[in-house]
A and B are shown apart, each in its own frame.
Chain A
Amino acid sequence: MPAELLLLLASPLAGGLVLALLGHRRYAAELNAAFSALTFAASAALVARVVAEGPFDTLERQFFVDSLNVFLVALTAFVGMTTALFSRPYMRIEREHGRVSEGGMRLFHSMYQLFSFTMLLVLTTNNLGVMWVAMEAATLTTVLLVALYRTHASLEAAWKYFILCGVGIAQALLGTILVYFAAEKILGAGVGALLWTQLDSVKGQLEPSVMAIAFVFLMVGYGTKVGLVPLHNWLPDAHAEGPTPVSAVLSGLLLNVALYALIRFKVLTDGALERPFASGLMMGFGLLSVTVGALFLSRQRDIKRMFAYSSVEHMGLITFAFGLGGPVASFAGLLHMTMHSLTKSAIFFAVGHATQKAGTQVMAEIRGLIRLSPTVGWGLTLGTVAILGLPPFGVFASEFLILTQTIARAPWAAPILLVSLGISFAAIFGKLQPMVFGEPSVSRLPHRPALLPVFAHLLLVLMFGLYMPPYLAGWYRQAALLIG
């Protein structure tokens, strides 16, 4: 096993164990950030290795890294690191406001690292069974984090999250069993029949009827975690009631990782069926999520709930793009995945400090951010402008690509997408304006807010919008070809 991969998985796992013991100490937040930084360094080294030597598998093919998952590994480790930096002052302020106990801090730090570990395991494993186990573990590590504040609402949100994702993930297990059933006929019983690379090489021979039923179960199962309508009910609650760093990693990372699992199965199913069954299903679910997400935006009063619905909308858009398929649409989907994850976590960082200043998450009571704290105000404004898809930010580029592909290849869907994007623009922008401008109602914070991550993310998004380095573009193109 290459040292980079080993370190990538060992660092968050060790972090989870160490912080389970030391997570309540004063330096725990720095320790947390250090472990995340180490993980990011390992991911950077892994990227360098894949760029230099191409895709590889290791440990009797149990782990597999190609351009598709290495890009998500880097993204996950990067956002994991910046979120750890953000949570350093954020969680300290929460502790001083008395919202989190000492045990709560320990739980937060330990679970944060374990959550990173489960996500990286989903991304790097080649074994579809292990993928399922790690995905379930990702739910388990975040359930207690959502309930961290122990309020009525947070307990309810965590319960809903556990039950809905638990049921969903059980459907995914059934789907995985069915895929194994189809593969066993060709590859023989044993672990080999669950390895994605093996399945990929014989996908044309897999029994089509079984793969079709399996994909329906997988779509429902992993789709619940992606937050696709109508399985999205847990998502706004979990985002609104959990601590903000958790909202940032849920939106920015977990949804992506679940979608990654779905993409891997889509490749197999499309290969087996020779008709776009899986793609059609993804397009349908994606379109529904975009529409419903946009329509629910204007009804929200809670700022984190509103941005959670925006995540539903964007995940729908990405799912739709992958469903549409082809090199350009898949490229746009991957790009949008990156852009959404960077922008949305930046927004949640800014929102976190804004709500701490205002002492509430109700949008009507947050006023005049820019007057008292220009950096928080501008961070929120720029982040929102970016997520709404205005040029010159990178979200514009990816949305534009998706739209042009839609017009060219599925013209019937284009008006639906355009109207939904218009509605969400009006809804979010209308609510943002009085919060940022208007008469101030916010107070000062006991610690300096961490806004470096916000602007670092936005700068990256801006860079992608203005100029995409050719090697990055080539890399995305290569990953898009794997999806097909």
Chain B
Amino acid sequence: MLQHYGQQLINLLAAVMLLLAFAMLAQRRIISLINLFAAQGFTLVLSTALVAWLTGQHHLYGSALLTLALKVVALPWILHRLIRRLNVKWDIETLINIPTTMLIGIVLVILAFNLAQPISLLAGTVTKATLGIALACVLLSFLMMITRSKAVPQVIGFLAMENGLFFAATGAVYGMPMVIEFGIALDVLVGMLILGIFFFRIRERFDSLDTRHLEKLRDH
């Protein structure tokens, strides 16, 4: 009985993940985008903890804590500070308009479910139904990176992609071994710090964080 409701709850959280991925795709304000990213991270924490409780895989509690510390607290905090210090304009221009992006997003979700089908059938985990959603989150974040022209949203897209990957790892195999997750988390954090330095340099050069300034290099 408990198992049944737990499974339903995990599926619900997966749906929330997907919803948040779409919300990020449609969001134009950077501050809201960061909050949505934090919310997605929190959903990931909840679902990881729930899987840990249902299956008795205790190392997943560690993974959930790590996600909580990094993706819900540390990274959003760094990002908020960054945009305050950089005084970035709030409105984001997208390269493709939002409705079209959403339509492409729906196509990607269908694609993801098809791709995940054979893997889901093999998975013995209680979370196998969520695998398609995890893949869809990865693809949607990828789409977001492509369609945004500002540096900060591109980075948030990159981080959201990492969220999707972690979700896929919990869904398919109850997470990677803890050592590896630590390594990945460390890489993400270091990458974030390097990007922080990088943002300042881009800004001091171009007086803006629009990566369309970064389209001069080409083959002659």
- Chain A residues 166-207 with CB under 8 Å of chain B are 166-167, 170, 173-174, 177-178, 180-181, 184-185, 189-191, 194, 207
A152 to B194, CA, bound (A): 18
With A129-B176, A181-B172 in contact, do A159 and B211 touch (Cβ < 8 Å)? Answer: yes
> Smallest Cβ distance from A177 to chain B, in angstroms?
5
- Chain B residues 174-189 with CB under 8 Å of chain A are 174, 176-177, 179-180, 183-184, 186-187
Instruction: Give the interface residue-count category, chain B.
Output: 35 or more
With A143-B198, A155-B202, A167-B158 in contact, do A178 and B211 touch (Cβ < 8 Å)? Answer: no
Q: List 8 A-B pairs, minimum CB-CB distance, nearest first.
A: A129-B180, A133-B183, A156-B214, A136-B187, A191-B177, A181-B172, A181-B173, A301-B220
Q: At the interface, yes or no: A427 with Cβ under 8 Å from chain B?
A: no
Evaluate contact between A144 and B161: CB separation under 8 angstroms: no
Mostly helix, strand, loop or mixed at chain A's interface? helix
With A173-B165, A177-B165 in contact, do A157 and B173 touch (Cβ < 8 Å)? Answer: no
Of the candidates B122, B206, B214, the one having the most CB atoms from chain A within 10 angstroms of its own CB is: B214
A160 to B217, CA, bound (A): 10
With beta carbons under 8 angstroms apart, the residue of A166, A177, A178 that contacts B191 is: A166
Q: At the interface, yes or no: A219 with Cβ under 8 Å from chain B?
A: no
Q: At the interface, yes or no: A410 with Cβ under 8 Å from chain B?
A: no
Evaluate contact between A296 and B219: CB separation under 8 angstroms: yes
A305 to B177, CA, bound (A): 41
- Chain B residues 142-196 with CB under 8 Å of chain A are 142, 145, 151, 154, 158, 161-162, 165, 168-169, 172-174, 176-177, 179-180, 183-184, 186-187, 190-191, 194-195
Q: Which residues of the partner chain A approach B145 to less than 8 Å between Cβ atoms?
A: 163, 167
> Smallest Cβ distance from A311 to chain B, in angstroms?
15
Evaluate contact between A143 and B194: CB separation under 8 angstroms: yes
With A156-B216, A160-B217 in contact, do A147 and B201 touch (Cβ < 8 Å)? Answer: yes
Known: A155-B202, A189-B173. 7 other contacts (CB 8 A): A129-B177, A150-B205, A153-B217, A162-B194, A167-B142, A191-B179, A207-B122
Q: At the interface, yes or no: B123 with Cβ under 8 Å from chain A?
A: yes
Q: At the interface, yes or no: B197 with Cβ under 8 Å from chain A?
A: yes
Q: Which residues of the partner chain B approach A140 to less than 8 Å between Cβ atoms?
A: 187, 190-191, 194
1/0 per residue A284-305: CB within 8 Å of B?
0000000000001001110001
1/0 per residue A118-157: CB within 8 Å of B?
0000000001011011001100100110010011110111
Evaluate contact between B161 and A156: CB separation under 8 angstroms: no
Q: Which residues of the partner chain B approach A178 to less than 8 Å between Cβ atoms?
A: 119, 172
A189 to B179, CA, bound (A): 13
> Smallest Cβ distance from A303 to chain B, in angstroms?
13
With A159-B214, A166-B191, A181-B172 in contact, do A213 and B179 touch (Cβ < 8 Å)? Answer: no
Q: Which residues of the partner chain B approach A130 to less than 8 Å between Cβ atoms?
A: 179-180, 183
Q: Which residues of the partner chain A approach B206 to less than 8 Å between Cβ atoms?
A: 152
Q: At the interface, yes or no: A236 with Cβ under 8 Å from chain B?
A: yes
A370 to B158, CA, bound (A): 48
A181 to B165, CA, bound (A): 13
Evaluate contact between A133 and B180: CB separation under 8 angstroms: yes
Evaluate contact between A159 and B202: CB separation under 8 angstroms: yes
1/0 per residue B1-19: CB within 8 Å of A?
0000000000000000000
Evaluate contact between A181 and B151: CB separation under 8 angstroms: no
Q: Which residues of the partner chain B approach A37 to less than 8 Å between Cβ atoms?
A: none
Q: Which residues of the partner chain A approach B215 to less than 8 Å between Cβ atoms?
A: 156
A296 to B176, CA, bound (A): 41
Q: At the interface, yes or no: B99 with Cβ under 8 Å from chain A?
A: no
**CB-defined A-B contacts under 8 Å, sample of 14:** A127-B180, A129-B183, A130-B183, A140-B194, A144-B198, A152-B213, A157-B217, A162-B195, A170-B138, A177-B172, A178-B172, A209-B118, A241-B217, A300-B220
Evaluate contact between A137 and B217: CB separation under 8 angstroms: no
A177 to B122, CA, bound (A): 14
Q: Which residues of the partner chain A approach B174 to less than 8 Å between Cβ atoms?
A: 189
Closest A-chain residue to B138, C-beta based?
A174
Q: Which residues of the partner chain B approach A210 to less than 8 Å between Cβ atoms?
A: 118-119, 122
Evaluate contact between A147 and B119: CB separation under 8 angstroms: no
Q: At the interface, yes or no: A399 with Cβ under 8 Å from chain B?
A: no
With beta carbons under 8 angstroms apart, the residue of B162, B183, B195, B205 that contacts A170 is: B162
Evaluate contact between B179 and A170: CB separation under 8 angstroms: no
With beta carbons under 8 angstroms apart, the residue of B180, B216, B219 that contacts A305 is: B219
Q: Which residues of the partner chain B approach A144 to less than 8 Å between Cβ atoms?
A: 194, 197-198
